[in-house]
Structure 1
Amino acid sequence: MTITSVNKVSITGIVSVLPEISCENIDESSSSAREEMARIVASTGIRARRVASADQTALSLGKVACESLIDAMDWKPEEISLVVFVTQTPDYPLPGNAVQLQHQLGLSKDTIAYDVNLGCSGFVYGLWQVAQLVAGLSKGKALLVVGDTTTHQYRQDNRAVSSLFGDAVSAIAIEKCMESDEMVFSLGTDGAGAPYLIQPKGGALCPGESPELFMDGMQVFVFTLREVPSSITACLAAKGWQNADVDYCVMHQANEMMLKRLGDKLGLTHEQLVISMGEVGNTSSASIPLALGLSLSEPLLKGSVNLVLSGFGVGWSWGTVALTLTKLKVCQVIDLSLAQ
């Protein structure tokens, strides 16, 4: 794995958006189906998932998140130098979501804007890339947007995935901050895992076919237990932290049993380990910033918090960052069901 760091750049605000539709995993279907779903819920901890409507996309949800974030940060459009949109469910194969978002937000034509095709490791990779770029730009404010409408990518009767995945998008404000703490990253890739978490249809090899997400859950579990603990351990060592220095560890919110196994393997306490996917599901690259909003908004808005954030999944791809966040200006979850 690669260890790298970025100085004098910080996260200063986070806004996440949840679509209004909530789907319960244990519904009023046949008794045998309810029994099966009860076993899945007991294992994953996912009781319900948020589902985007047919006309909602990662881009439309991302626009809501960015507009709220820009307003809360009191940023002027001309101050924003960069927009990076991490998504596996763009509106179109081309153009990307980021360039459309630049126009919809009324940002300057000087704004750099592009997409990154990554899934559950995408928040950490996006943070690393945006932080590096912002450090070298004259205008030191950027938007990192992460998230997917994964529920549009499979049949609802495919219980292997339909009981797990939910939709959400997060927008993160990143800016130069001369007093900020160093961010330390640990990043890795193993493309041998490509066949085990894949959407084989609808791309260049199988054009014109409806997308259908495939996941081998056991292979995902084995990969995660193999790679993630060493990534977090290496990141902590490079940062010079012990477990006791960590206020909270927020890993990709894949499923509860997996996170508890990882926490035990790392020697983390229950108080340090954040688990928040129960009512929203696995929200891909948005899961870490969404978890920060759902579970840690109060401490993040009050003062300094030492965090370890780790994303992992499709690829295989994984990334961890150790950083201190100092009193965010905003840490909010917009629940569109409450706006109806």
Structure 2
Amino acid sequence: MTITTVNKVSIAGIVSVLPESICENTDDTSELASQEMARIVASTGIHSRRVTAAEQTVLDLGLIACESLLGELAWDRDDISLVIFVTQTPDYPLPGNAIQLQHQLGLSKSTIAFDVNLGCSGFIYGLWQTSQLLSGLPTGKALLIVGDTTSHQYSENNRAVSSLFGDAVSAIALEKIENCDEMVFSLGSDGAGAPYLIQPNGGARKPNCAPELFMDGMQVFVFTLREIPTSVNTCLAHKGWRVDDIDYCVMHQANEMMLKRLGDKIGISQEQLIISMGEIGNTSSASIPLALCVSLQAVLLHQPTKLLLSGFGVGWSWGTVALTLQPLKSCKVIDLKTST
């Protein structure tokens, strides 16, 4: 794996958006289905998921998140030099979501805007790439948008995934600051995992087939327990932190049992480990910033916080970052169910 650092770039704010519709994992009342769902809920901790309407896209949610975030920060939009949109469910094969968002937000034509195709590790990779690029640009502000509408990628009778994945988007504002904590990243990939978590349809090889996400849950579990403790421990060592030094650990919100097993292997206490997917589902690259907004809003708005963040999944791909967040200027969830 690769260890890399970023200096003089900090997160200024986070806004996450949840779609209106709620799908309960206990909605199917047939006896066999109920027994199966009870087992799934017991092992994953996911009772319900938030899903978008058929006509609602990840770009729609991203625009809502960015408008709210920019309003709260009161940023001059001409100062934004970079927009990166991390998603596996873009509105179109081309053009990308980021460049459409640049226009919709009224940003300058000098803004750099592009998409990154990554899933559950996408927030960590996106944070690293956005921070690295921003540090070399003349103006000092950037937007990172992460998330997917995964519910559009499978049929409801595909219980291996339909009971797990929800939809959400998070927008993260980054800015260059002289005096801020160094971010230490540990990043890795292993393409041997490609067959075990894959959307085989709708691309160049099977262009005319309806999307049907496939996941081998056991292979995902084995990969995660094999790679993530090493990634976390390596990251902490290069940061010069012990596990006891961190305030909170927020990992990709995939599965409650998996996160608890990882916490045990790493030595994370129950008080440090954040688990927040129970009523939301696995929201792909949005899951870590969404968990920060859902579970740590009051903390992050008012005090410096030492965080260990780790994302992992499709690819295989994984990344961990250790950083100290200064009090955020914005940290909230926009719940479209309560705001409509």
Fold similarity call, TM over 0.5: yes
Distance of 2:231 and 2:26 partners within structure 1: 35
Distance of 1:28 and 1:199 partners within structure 2: 25
Q: For residue 77 of structure 1, report the CA deviation from its aligned partner.
A: 1.2
The RMSD of aligned alpha carbons is 0.5
Secondary structure of the residue aligned to 1:244 is helix
Secondary structure of the residue aligned to 1:296 is helix
Aligned to 1:36: 36
Aligned to 1:116: 116
Distance of 2:156 and 2:75 partners within structure 1: 40
Distance of 2:27 and 2:93 partners within structure 1: 35
CA deviations 1:32-81 (Å, max 9, x no partner) are 21111011001000000000001111100000000000001101111110
Q: Is 1:283 paired with 2:273?
A: no
Please list, as runs of the form range in 1=range in 2, the aligned pairs for 1:252-267 lying within 5 A after superposition. 252-267=252-267
Aligned to 1:184: 184
Distance of 1:72 and 1:265 partners within structure 2: 39
Q: For residue 28 of structure 1, report the CA deviation from its aligned partner.
A: 4.4
CA deviations 1:174-218 (Å, max 9, x no partner) are 010111100000000000000000000110011121111000000
Secondary structure of the residue aligned to 1:192 is helix
Mark the runs of 5 or more structure 1 residues left unpaired by the alignment.
none
Mark the runs of 5 or more structure 2 residues left unpaired by the alignment.
none
Q: Which amino acid aligns with 2:332?
A: Q
Aligned to 1:153: 153
Distance of 1:164 and 1:234 partners within structure 2: 30
Q: Is the deviation greater in 29-38 or in 41-50?
A: 29-38
CA deviations 1:293-315 (Å, max 9, x no partner) are 00001110011000000000000
Q: Is 1:137 paired with 2:134?
A: no
Identity value in percent: 73
Please list, as runs of the form range in 1=range in 2, the aligned pairs for 1:307-326 lying within 5 A after superposition. 307-326=307-326
Aligned to 2:208: 208
CA deviations 1:93-137 (Å, max 9, x no partner) are 000000000000000000000000000000000000000011111
How many positions carry a matched residue from both structures?
Answer: 340
**Superposition TM-score, scaled by structure 2 size:** 0.99
Distance of 1:284 and 1:55 partners within structure 2: 20
Secondary structure of the residue aligned to 2:206 is coil
**Superposition TM-score, scaled by structure 1 size:** 0.99
Distance of 2:96 and 2:147 partners within structure 1: 14
Secondary structure of the residue aligned to 1:205 is coil
Q: For residue 27 of structure 1, report the CA deviation from its aligned partner.
A: 1.4
Q: Which amino acid aligns with 1:121?
A: S
Aligned to 1:235: 235
Distance of 2:29 and 2:183 partners within structure 1: 48
Q: Which amino acid aligns with 2:9?
A: V
CA deviations 1:142-187 (Å, max 9, x no partner) are 0000000000000011000000000000000001011110000000
Secondary structure of the residue aligned to 1:178 is coil
Distance of 2:95 and 2:127 partners within structure 1: 22
Aligned to 1:51: 51
Q: For residue 29 of structure 1, report the CA deviation from its aligned partner.
A: 2.1
Q: Which amino acid aligns with 1:291?
A: A
Distance of 2:308 and 2:220 partners within structure 1: 21
Secondary structure of the residue aligned to 2:264 is helix
Aligned to 1:175: 175
Aligned to 1:271: 271
Distance of 1:321 and 1:102 partners within structure 2: 27
Aligned to 1:334: 334
Aligned to 1:92: 92
Aligned to 1:2: 2
Distance of 2:28 and 2:268 partners within structure 1: 38
Distance of 1:198 and 1:334 partners within structure 2: 30
CA deviations 1:242-290 (Å, max 9, x no partner) are 0111000000000000000000001110000000000000000000000
